[in-house]
Structure 1
């Protein structure tokens, strides 16, 4: 058992010399001794059983006591020692957290001190106009503020105050830098600032200050360099150069590229470089590429020397060279608009209209801008002015093709008559060499006749596949001639030129297909003649597109002989375009015809003078409209299209009249006579609309074939017969459903007409009984 003092010391948390380790060691040794005694006892168990019984009991008592001491020690470890261990760990953790908090506070104080020092140094540098140093100090203060915000343990009001102070100081230095920039780069404009006016351009000047009066740290830096580097540090350089580049483009580069008489003059004065314009008399309407590139090069070389070729500051050694940055920034701002201006105002007017002059054009135009780019280094990459792209620019759509296509699509529709014998007026294609002719299996005349089985008198007419006689626009005729001329030129051009010319021709037809229906949309809807001409134009183009590619295939460069040099895929689109336009006009004319007939008061009560007058007027208007259309479409549409169109419209009017009359429930004798008179007018004057040819004598056969083009013509005749016939005559023409009346009307329609025309008598009943 532990002594009283030991227990007191244990409960107080302090054991003197006999600590836990000593007690555990003592118990361990005691356990080993008992273990040895137990082993000795077991070895003598069988020989000294009875004598050792008492000693075994003593050992058991000792082991039990030892076990109690061990349990007591374990409980003490679990209670007092572990409790003291937790207390010590908590105290150590608190001390560590306190130390960390103190470290964080110290770090915040250091950041605040650095922020304050950076702001003070910035103010001093700004006062001395050391803009690069001031910008660097402001950048350092920005970094300190960013670290302070990342700690998330500083007072929000303090952070807001620091942020506001930093913003104010940044705006302050930007204001000072802006004033310095305005002193270093000065624009002088006339009151109007109109760049399209030559007088205004002559009064425009750009002044660059090149005075070196400041020294920053070790290396003397020009004022403009100091300002630009400060802008770069503050992240405002790109915006400033963008503004400068836009003004440079608007007031200097673009006028130089568009006005042939305008030239740039560079004047050097003490500490100032002046760029101004002067006018030189010239007969050129558009400037030549070489002159434009020379003028632009003069300006860019000066800017490269005075503005873009800046020295590298010693404090910015890890940054990208400002010279490269400035050049790329300025190039990104001006090059896209400048290149577009060069194309529209210069290059497009210098492009030759013949590929034979292309090589000379390449030598003059392709090298000049590349040399400007290489020498001035103000444009990082120029894809536009590579030799291949200049070639492509010419071949994609030359000035001649562009202007011709534009004029042809927007010109008035002057027409010309084409016949099956009409041909495109282009030079004959060169004959291919003998070795280039494809091998064709020869066949004798006898073999041919046996295979085809055609007698000489059954051969096709020479115009079987020709376009019928009609009128087309003169502009479309010229458009096709332009396509043939361009393809003919492609046969003598280089591979790349031939490819581009071929696709230029395809683009011509794509433009026509897309532009003409939109540009002339209103007129195509209102003017029947224009719709008919447009229909003919589309069919004329589609007719030529069928064979256009095949005519030139054997003369094209090898690169175009892969089977894709065809225009056949465009044929359905053009046919559909012409058909839809003309069908739209037909629908409009049908609507007008039906609208006129709607004023006929359903052809009822013709014994009333007002009703008869209205019906007669409607019929006259219909016939007048058809005759007017006939005059408009005469000699324009092909004969078969003309007859089908007029037949369809006349058939529409007759169908409406038949429908209105057969719907009447009561027709008096006077009504029948007047209805017959109206129908007789249509019957007499209707065939006169079939006059597709200007010579009246040639139209007789078409007027005799009215039933071919007007399906309701014969029913209309039968209706007139019924209006004047007796019951017996009607029955005879019905002929038990086999007569002409039965072919024109159904039994129900005939029975309804009989009921409307005749009174209810036995004879009418007998006649109705026969109509089955």
Structure 2
């Protein structure tokens, strides 16, 4: 039978687009379709491979059987409701009663079991105590306390619970007290401190015996072993290990059990690394002989001590001991392997005695050897430089060139290069490359020698060290600028020789710094340098430092000279007819002061510098003398005579202040003016007229018109001759 699509049939009968159809028109069509379906069904049943009649017959039989089964089930249901349910309800009531009884039994059983367990643990404690085993006793009491922390329901309300708990705690406290006493007997120490030394005594009675192991295990079981070991470790670290690094110590094992550490307090003393290592070897060998044994698998007191303090100890000994072994010069650095070998052996020793583990190293600082070496070298050179700067400046030496030859060196090369050199020699004076003969402090030469040592060491080192040493060299010159004026301040203010030497030192160092950078670069040829090398920027700074203090001292000398003059009658000639004796005394005092400066400076400064300095002071002195006279409105004949005598003394003595008596004429601007002033003071109007010479004479050259007119008015009375002369001087 083919499949039948009812929707398709309905679409054929009913047209969706048809709106005015009637049921009477469609019913015949539907009836016809139904009849066709009946015919098809009948035809299908006749041709079907199944026997439809027999199927219907079997269905009827099944219906009858099913109905009988349903009736039987209804009957069973009725019997269950009437009889069985009553019995089930009765059984449920019995079950609930039995459950309650079982709960009561379990409650009692749990309490009895807890009592039994407590009794069992108490018995174990008694057995441990009788066997004199701290470990078994502690385990039993410890387990008992842990067990009664989670008691069965109702057990805590019994008197036995409170009594057991209280008793167990008392027993544990007593056991701990006994264990602490035993530990103190096994491990003890004391320290006697005085002003000069401390004596630490460590007593270790620990041995690899069953009793000692039992005590240690009992402490470990009770979680108190680490606390006791930590206490001993911290004492060891603070009272023994640290002092051995910082002080002079003697480690002496007096007996197998007693070790004595004597710490001697010395100022400014730090023991060498080999002494520190030797003391530590004695100490750890003694500790290891007593504490190295294992009380449990892979567990020993020595390991516990190492776990507690090996980290801080390794950092401490590297930072405050082994880093100090790094040398400050390249020669010692090249042989530094001997020291690292000793340290490596010491590290292996600490591993053997179980104080160190494999992951701890006391050679990690070697990874930064360049940085540490550069810092050590820098600190050493800075300290050395500062020590040099603090030395006495008056210890001096002669340096420089006395005379510079102007003769040209003969050369067989007449090429362009030789011609260029000849032009350069003519353009730039040879004196530019030489330092003049003078005296400097030996400390200046020492400082310069130190700088050359730094340079020679730098060029042999790695780039990191070289750069650091270059920076150190610059820092030394900056340190010179800061330290010298401060440390030598008192002498620079009061002692002329100090000022002269300090000035020369600054000039000498600045002179060498001009070419120091080029020398450094020459030695560094072939190396890749990523920073500029030069010292020219510091040259002017050093020169200004020398100029500054020399200028300050010259101002002090000038002030003393002026104060001497202004404190005498030369400062009050207006109100005096005759000068007192203090006027000549003041002049002589000024000349003595200048003579003392000459005696101090003549061999110290370069001759040209000395001449300029002395000329400056003498010129200032003479100008002040001239000013004193030229500003007076009236000068008596007696005073003029006195001034002539006093100023003549200056003319006689002043040339002696120079190396050559002719230097005063060349370098002292007011020298001729002073001589002309003396001439005016002792001369007549006619003599003055002759020296004026209608504005072309020496008076016209050295005196201003107003000065000369005022001087004539002060010296001579108002006469026709004076008026005629004044009329000429315009």
Counterpart CA distance in 2 for 1:208 and 1:652 is 88
Superposed displacement of residue 599, structure 1: 2.5
- 1:252-651 pair list within 5 angstroms: 252-255=244-247, 259=248, 262-265=249-252, 274-277=259-262, 288-296=272-280, 299=283, 326-327=308-309, 335=316, 339-340=319-320, 347=325, 351=327, 353=329, 355-365=330-340, 368=343, 372=347, 385-389=365-369, 392-393=372-373, 396-397=376-377, 401=381, 404-412=384-392, 413-420=394-401, 445-448=414-417, 454=423, 458=426, 462-556=430-524, 558-559=526-527, 561-562=529-530, 564-602=532-570, 604=572, 611-651=579-619
Q: Are 1:665 and 1:752, in contact at CA under 8 Å, matched by a contact in 2? A: yes
Structure 1 distance, partners of 2:239, 2:260, is 13
Q: Any conservation in 1 of the 2:579–2:639 contact (CA below 8 Å)?
A: no
Offset, 1:631: 0.8
**Normalised TM-score (structure 2):** 0.60
1:11-26 alignment to 2 at 5 Å? none
Stretch deviating more after TM superposition (214-223 or 561-570): 214-223
- Please list the CA deviations of residues 340-371 of structure 1 after superposition, one character each: whole Å capped at 9, or x if unmatched: 5766xx637xx364x23423214524872897
How big is the shift at 1:646? Answer: 0.6
Name stretches of at least 5 consecutive residues in structure 2 with no aligned partner. 1-137, 143-179, 207-211, 296-302, 405-411
Summarize deviations over 1:453-481 as a string: whole Å, max 9, x none: 8499x576654420111111223223323
TM-fit CA distance, 1:670: 1.0
Q: Does 1:189 align with 2:192?
A: yes
* Per-residue deviation, 1:706: 1.5
Deviation at 1:645, TM superposition (A): 0.8
Greater alpha carbon shift after TM alignment, 661-670 vs 515-524: 515-524
The structure 1 residue matched to 2:631, chosen from 660, 663, 666, is 663
1:766 corresponds in structure 2 to 724
**SS class of match (1:468):** coil
Conservation of the 8 A alpha-carbon contact between 2:569 and 2:583: yes
Deviation at 1:725, TM superposition (A): 2.6
1:730 to partner: Cα distance: 3.1
- The answer for the alignment partner of 1:434 in structure 2 is none
Match of 1:653 in 2: 621
| Residues 183, 687 of structure 1: alpha-carbon distance in 2 compared, 3 angstrom cutoff | farther
- The 3-state SS of whatever aligns with 1:591 is helix
Displacement of 1:718 in angstroms is: 2.6
Take 2:706 and 2:403, find their aligned partners in 1: how far apart are those partners? 55
| Residue among 720, 726, 729 paired with 2:687 | 729
Mapped to 1, the partners of 2:435 and 2:481 lie a distance apart of: 20
In structure 1, the partner of 2:201 is 205
Aligned to 1:105: none
Over 3 Å counting, the alpha-carbon distance change for 1:266 and 1:681 in structure 2 is: same
Q: What is the distance in 2 between the residues matched to 1:302 and 1:222?
A: 24
Q: SS of the counterpart of 2:669?
A: coil
Q: 1:487 to 1:677 in 2, by over 3 A?
A: same
Contact 2:397 2:442 in 1 (8 A): yes
Q: 1:733 to 1:393 in 2, by over 3 A?
A: same
CA contact (8 A) 1:418 1:469 kept: yes
Sort the Cα spacing of 1:183 and 1:743 in 2 relative to 1 into closer, same or farther, 3 A. Answer: farther
State how far apart, in whole Å, the 1-side matches of 2:360 and 2:679 are.
90
TM-score when normalising by structure 1: 0.57
2 CA distance for matches of 1:381 and 1:588? 64
Report if aligned partners of 2:347, 2:361 keep a CA contact under 8 Å in 1.
no
